[in-house]
């Protein structure tokens, strides 16, 4: 183990222990959902998910500022990959997105936001697939752009019905152009906190034809390893799979849900979890 690796893992481990959770993105809410991609897109061709695949999605705040205060926001995605019925392949793919600016060139920069769907998200670092370097992203789609970045608000919105986000890709050679919409990510239901905790890791859970480009891959993996060790995360969390068979139909409307324009009681409900 190199000195740099020891330092990175130690720093993220200490932060995770102090926060009693993830070193970053400890405050968030997880959902069961579904990912559908254009099979002719770079992302879709690599995943092979034209007909849709079950997904686990987590919205999170990096620093964990309370309520809807602006923060560096994140979207974590896990889908099964490989051959199998209903998209249930043998492998797993994790992709992490961070909040960016909407207008060029700010769409290439990490920026805080006070609204879950007020701006786009990007992998920021490119993936290599199909002989190209490509930035993957998600954007509001039909999601309410004014919803504040509060985990309880997001949980309440999805409890009233599916929230649909657009999936985008942007080849690095066209970095100053507008990303192309290549699919849809639907948040269908708030994930039960009794479900096994999920730990996302895009370095370990990747595809042979869809890999994070070097040289920062090792640095990210050291940070993830230190954070997991610091909070004593269960190793099985890296392999927990999305639940198949969810429908995109709206769920039953719960009583007295808060307005999507402000946080409410759901902030302390089952949807406001720290599982990732």
CATH number at residue 29: 2.40.180.10
pLDDT for the residue numbered 245: 58
Asked whether residue 177 is assigned to any structural domain, the reply reads yes
* pLDDT string in tens for the chain (276-residue length): 677 555 544 654 555 455 545 445 466 899 999 999 999 999 999 998 556 899 999 999 888 788 888 898 999 999 998 765 444 557 899 999 999 988 888 788 889 999 999 999 999 889 999 899 999 999 998 899 999 999 999 999 999 999 999 999 999 899 888 899 999 999 999 998 787 778 888 888 889 889 887 766 655 665 555 555 655 665 656 667 787 755 444 433 333 333 333 333 333 333 434 344
pLDDT for the residue numbered 5: 56
The answer to whether residues 147 and 174 touch, using CB atoms and an 8 Å cutoff, is no
Please enumerate in sequence order all residues whose Cβ is within 8 A of that of 137, keeping only pairs 6 or more positions apart, or say none: 97, 100, 120, 121, 122, 123, 167, 168, 169, 170, 179
- C-alpha R_g of the chain: 18
Q: Name the nearest CA neighbour of 165 among 50, 58, 25.
A: 58
Asked whether residue 276 is assigned to any structural domain, the reply reads no
Asked whether residue 275 is assigned to any structural domain, the reply reads no
Task: Give the chain's domain count.
Answer: 1
Asked whether residue 186 is assigned to any structural domain, the reply reads yes
Please enumerate in sequence order all residues whose Cβ is within 8 A of that of 22, keeping only pairs 6 or more positions apart, or say none: 16, 227, 231, 274, 276
267/14 Cα distance (integer angstroms): 27
Asked whether residue 273 is assigned to any structural domain, the reply reads no
195/114 Cα distance (integer angstroms): 28
CA pseudo-torsion sign 225, 195, 47, 249: negative
137/129 Cα distance (integer angstroms): 15
Q: Name the nearest CA neighbour of 191 among 216, 166, 165, 159.
A: 159
Asked whether residue 133 is assigned to any structural domain, the reply reads yes
User: What values do phi and psi take at 81, rounded to 5?
Assistant: -135, 160
Asked whether residue 182 is assigned to any structural domain, the reply reads yes
User: 190: domain range?
Assistant: 3-268
Phi-psi region of 98 (alpha: psi -120 to 50; beta: other; left: phi over 0): beta
pLDDT for the residue numbered 239: 61
220/215 Cα distance (integer angstroms): 10
Phi-psi region of 82 (alpha: psi -120 to 50; beta: other; left: phi over 0): left
């Amino acid at each position: 183990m190199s000195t740099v690796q020891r330092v990175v893992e130690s720093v993220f481990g200490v932060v995770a222990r102090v926060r009693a959770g993830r070193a970053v993105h400890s405050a968030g809410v997880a959902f069961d959902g579904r990912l559908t991609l254009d099979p002719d897109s770079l992302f879709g061709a690599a995943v092979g998910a034209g007909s849709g695949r079950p997904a686990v999605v987590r919205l999170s705040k990096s620093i964990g500022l309370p309520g809807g205060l602006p923060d560096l926001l994140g979207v974590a995605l896990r889908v099964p990959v490989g051959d199998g019925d209903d998209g249930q392949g043998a492998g797993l793919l994790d992709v992490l997105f961070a909040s960016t600016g909407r207008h060029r060139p700010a769409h290439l920069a990490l920026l805080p936001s006070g609204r879950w769907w007020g701006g786009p998200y990007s992998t920021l670092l490119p993936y290599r697939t199909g002989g190209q370097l490509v930035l993957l992203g998600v954007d509001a789609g039909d999601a309410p752009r004014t919803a504040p970045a509060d985990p309880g608000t997001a949980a309440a919105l999805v409890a009233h019905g599916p929230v649909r986000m657009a999936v985008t890709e942007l080849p690095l050679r066209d970095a100053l152009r507008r990303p192309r919409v290549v699919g849809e990510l639907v948040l269908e239901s708030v994930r039960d906190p009794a479900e096994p905790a999920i730990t996302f890791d895009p370095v370990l859970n990747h595809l042979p034809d869809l890999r994070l480009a070097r040289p920062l891959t090792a640095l990210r993996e050291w940070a993830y390893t230190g954070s997991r060790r610091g909070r004593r995360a269960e190793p099985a969390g890296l392999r927990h799979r999305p639940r198949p068979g969810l429908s995109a139909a709206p769920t039953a409307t719960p009583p007295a849900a808060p307005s999507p324009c402000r946080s409410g009681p759901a902030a302390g409900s089952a949807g406001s979890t720290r599982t990732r």
